[in-house]
Amino acid sequence: MKLIAISALLMTQVANVCGQQIPEDLIGDEHVREEFGINHFTTPSIKKLFEDLDDFGALPYERLKREIPKKIPRDRSLVALGLGNLIAEGFLIVQAEELSEIETIGRAVLKQAKVLGAGVRVTRHTKSILENSVLGKWDTLKSELAKTQADVEAEMVLLRDVDIAHLVALGGWLRSFEVATITVAESYTEKKAKKLTRTDLLAYFLETLQGLEPKLRQKTHILQLTAGIEEILADLGGYDPTPGQKITTAAPSKQKTLALAQKINNLLEIIENPS
């Protein structure tokens, strides 16, 4: 009962910090955590973000892959953002069925999670990822990556470090958004490009950044990420929904999609190589 009460209090704090609702299609089953006595967890599911990529066709892996950073930053917020990047990278590797890359990404995820204090929870998922990669069980691998995100978030809630949980999800979204924009640009159609106009999700993450603890919010990399997402949101027409009305945003052209991919890459560079 005490654990449930603590969790309820923490979730109230999350609601106060982030008034923007998580888009319903991005709340995964793994975010329903009975052991915490809550209905919805804190952040969008990176697994759900990658499921949207199924509509884009084959992913050009050689064009999409990023080098895994060799050093882990000292700043916890950068570790969290980087962990989100790595989890998303794991989904890309699984989606592209690049078996040779899975062990590397699994070990990198575990290292980052240990720095955040979630290593015990994540170790069992890493073990399962390595075992199932040999068997080629791609659906199981996706499930274990999703559980990795959920368990890192669970540990952050227990540590009363909800901001870090939000930053893990933000890192995952940025990487998945870059994958989406590059994939669309590689085989452009207006129908595919239309799927990039998730201004509701941009608005959610922007409000998340603006709602971080004041000292964290003023860090240089957080200010740069906030400004970058504000610019992308403006490029896509902004987000100011009227209750009961559906938001309609024009699909970006191929040239604009390429420019969008570059802007997202710049944000990922801020996380990988902070000034």
Contact 165, 79 (CB under 8 A): no
Residue numbers of the domain that contains 183: 2-272
pTM check: above 0.75 = yes
pLDDT recorded at residue 8: 37
When divided into structural domains, the chain yields a total of: 1
Q: What is the pLDDT along the chain (275 residues), one digit of tens a residue?
A: 333 333 333 333 433 344 456 555 544 554 444 444 333 445 778 888 888 787 888 889 999 999 998 899 999 999 999 999 999 999 999 888 888 898 899 999 999 999 998 888 888 888 888 888 777 788 888 888 888 888 888 888 777 888 998 999 999 999 999 999 999 999 999 999 999 998 988 999 999 999 999 999 999 999 999 999 999 999 998 887 665 555 567 899 999 999 999 999 999 999 999 87
